[in-house]
Amino acid sequence: MPTNYRFSFGPWNIHSGADPFGPPVRDEFAFAEKLEFYKQLGFEGVQFHDDDVVSDADAPWSRQEAEASQMRKLLNERGLAAEFIAPRLWEHPLTIDGAITANSAGTRKYALERSKRAVDIARIMGTKDLVLWPAREGTYLREAKDPIAAVGRLVEWMNALLEYDMEIRILGEMKPNEPMDHAYVPTTGHFLGLASLTVDPSRVGTLIESAHAILAGLDPSDEMAYALYHKKLWSVHLNDQNGLKFDEDKSFGVVDLRRAFNQVWVLERAGYGQKGEFIGLDVKALRTQSKETSTKHLRNSRAIFLRLVDLVRSLDAAKVEELRAARDYEELDLLIVKHLIG
Ligand code: GLO
Ligand code: MG
């Protein structure tokens, strides 16, 4: 049965265009307005940070609980589902030098308590998936923290959450750098190593973002294949990236169509999506877009993905096998490029 793909994105993917060197260039859509775009653009899943759901992740729980219930209602009314909750552990004044791997015991305690609340929020929102993007879990300079202790702290954090809720799953979204100079757990493989050390490895998996793999000098489809073999690819952040520079979050496939094709191919081949996994996008509209045209990157990424699904399905698989067997990779090169050119 061909997979009927479902798509998701996070509210931060519709944004005002601010970057580290300049202020917003268009007014922000209100959250309620953003929600209306999901169905219009062909999306069913909403990805959330904890503080996308609640207005203040440090507010008393009773208030967070009420706000989360209200958000769940808004999603239900629109036929949308929450895909995951990611505790935003990288913006708080306490977490300037990291949250889980901070040298300060007080900060680490804050990180764990906030993450437990994120689990509680996830439960209200109807999802069991918690995403960890360990944004500041690394260093600006090697000597700043103890790297061995830091790795252990990540395992302890996961164990505490896995024991806090016996059904929750943790999905690591690894990225080698930015905002830090070096992250402690830069790739999927590193993270899966840590997963195996936790109290329940079966509930620890990954979300792979194309751009993050590229920033690590890796091919995203191979990264996905690695996680798929482990049966641990539970979400993706498809996007594109033009070489080793800042995390560009370009629309899927706009830089390297063949690289995008290979990601779709590996997902399709492995039956990704058949257990309800979403095709998540983590894409940013170019700063030059007007407010009115600032959702086209979502529309385009989805359309490019679906077109590539068609191309994957119409590829002459027998021919590919024949050329592999003959080791005629020049001919295989041409077959793929011609298929993409159409
Ligand atoms: C940044 C990450 C970030 C995460 C998001 C959800 O580079 O890709 O956007 O995906 O915070 O964890
Ligand atoms: Mg991402």
Residue among 53, 173, 208, 248 to mutate when testing ligand 1 (max atoms within 8 A of CB): 173
Which residue ranges of the chain lie beneath pLDDT 50?
none
195 DSSP 8-state letter: H
**What's the CA gap between 130 and 189, in Å, rounded?**
19
pLDDT of 1: 86
DSSP string, 79-136: T-EEEEEE--TTSSGGGTT-STT-S-HHHHHHHHHHHHHHHHHHHHHT--EEEE--TT
C-alpha R_g of the chain: 20
309 DSSP 8-state letter: H
Domains of the chain, residue spans: 6-315
Pocket of ligand 1 (CB under 6 A): 86, 131, 133, 173, 175, 209, 237, 247, 282
> Of all atoms in ligand 1, which is nearest to the CA of residue 175?
7
Q: Which residues pair with 171 in a beta bridge?
A: 131, 205
In this structure, the residue with its CA closest to atom 7 of ligand 1 is: 247
Known catalytic residues are: 49, 52
> Of all atoms in ligand 1, which is nearest to the CA of residue 86?
12
**What's the CA gap between 66 and 124, in Å, rounded?**
10
pTM over 0.95: yes
In this structure, the residue with its CA closest to atom 9 of ligand 1 is: 282
In this structure, the residue with its CA closest to atom 2 of ligand 1 is: 133
Q: Are 297 and 286 in contact (CB under 8 A)?
A: yes
Token pair in block for residue 56 = 């203040």
Residue among 53, 92, 209, 214 to mutate when testing ligand 1 (max atoms within 8 A of CB): 209
Find the ligand nearest to 209 CA.
Answer: 2
Residue 236 CA, ligand 2 centroid: distance in Å = 8
Residue 44 CA, ligand 2 centroid: distance in Å = 18
Q: Which residues pair with 183 in a beta bridge?
A: 138
Strands 138-139 and 182-183: antiparallel
Single out the residue of 206, 125, 224, 124 nearest to residue 169, CA to CA: 206
Q: Are 7 and 278 in contact (CB under 8 A)?
A: yes
Residue 157 CA, ligand 2 centroid: distance in Å = 20
Single out the residue of 39, 114, 27 nearest to residue 74, CA to CA: 39
Residue 133 CA, ligand 1 centroid: distance in Å = 6
In this structure, the residue with its CA closest to atom 11 of ligand 1 is: 133
Residue among 100, 133, 191, 283 to mutate when testing ligand 1 (max atoms within 8 A of CB): 133
**What's the CA gap between 191 and 183, in Å, rounded?**
11
- CATH code linked to domain 6-315: 3.20.20.150
